[in-house]
A and B are shown apart, each in its own frame.
Chain A
């Protein structure tokens, strides 16, 4: 079963709006990562947040982590059409375990 589940599965917004995606997971983690995938292409690493961190920023990206709720959110501010892609969370449970990916959120940013 998937460690990470993203919500919503699909999101459509207008350019300039903010986009928020959520990820819930089941077991304790070492870190949580967000990746982006343009249609049919490889995933690209966006940001990593450690289990002892609560919030992290990178450009227009803001990631929060709530380990008590086993959830994370990715906020993209002032979205652009070029942000249209699928976004995946991935959890690292440490101890030699590998990254486990969620099912992704498809974001469409319309002009």
Chain B
């Protein structure tokens, strides 16, 4: 089984709809992240969480919200989806080894907003 699991893998929705993307992990990491990937723009950070009671905005949090339901679960919501939120979304976890931190990614959710 994958260590970082995202559901759904693909989703098509309409403008104005509320949608939730889910992420769960079995790696036992405290830190979890949501990124979006657009062609030619690399990955941009939406939100991150260092533990269950910690939520932080990233570079592009407008239009998104998150919930850290448990150490292993971190969900991303689009309250009212718009077409420019069409992108590939990734959840990631990390372990910090001293001053160094590396990420472990899920397989992604391709979201299309029509």
A→B interface (CB under 8 Å)? 2, 4, 30-31, 33, 35, 40-45, 48, 50, 88, 90, 92, 94, 98-104
Interface residues in B97-114 (C-beta closer than 8 Å to A): 99-108, 110
Per the bound structure, the CA–CA distance linking A101 and B58 in Å amounts to 13
Chain B hits for A48, CB < 8 A: 100, 102
* Residue from A4, A45, A92, A104 in contact with B104 in the complex, judged by beta carbons closer than 8 Å: A45
Per the bound structure, the CA–CA distance linking A101 and B90 in Å amounts to 13
The minimal Cβ–Cβ distance linking B51 to chain A, given in whole angstroms, is 14
The prevalent SS among residues of A at the interface is strand
Chain A hits for B40, CB < 8 A: 103
Q: How many residues of B contact A (CB 8 A)?
A: 25
If A42-B107, A88-B43, A104-B42 are given as contacts, then 9 extra A-B residue pairs at C-beta distance below 8 Å, sorted by A number, are A2-B41, A2-B42, A4-B42, A31-B100, A35-B103, A41-B107, A45-B103, A50-B100, A101-B43
Per the bound structure, the CA–CA distance linking A87 and B54 in Å amounts to 31
- The reply to whether A42 and B41 form a contact with Cβ atoms under 8 Å apart is no
* 24 residue pairs bridging A and B, Cβ less than 8 Å apart: A4-B42, A30-B99, A30-B100, A31-B99, A31-B100, A33-B102, A35-B103, A40-B88, A41-B108, A42-B4, A42-B92, A42-B106, A43-B43, A43-B92, A45-B103, A48-B102, A88-B43, A92-B100, A92-B101, A98-B33, A99-B101, A100-B45, A103-B41, A103-B42
Taking the complex as formed, is B48 at the interface, i.e. its CB lies under 8 A from any CB of chain A? yes
- The reply to whether B105 and A43 form a contact with Cβ atoms under 8 Å apart is yes
- The reply to whether A88 and B100 form a contact with Cβ atoms under 8 Å apart is no
The minimal Cβ–Cβ distance linking B46 to chain A, given in whole angstroms, is 11
Per the bound structure, the CA–CA distance linking A91 and B4 in Å amounts to 22
Chain B hits for A33, CB < 8 A: 102
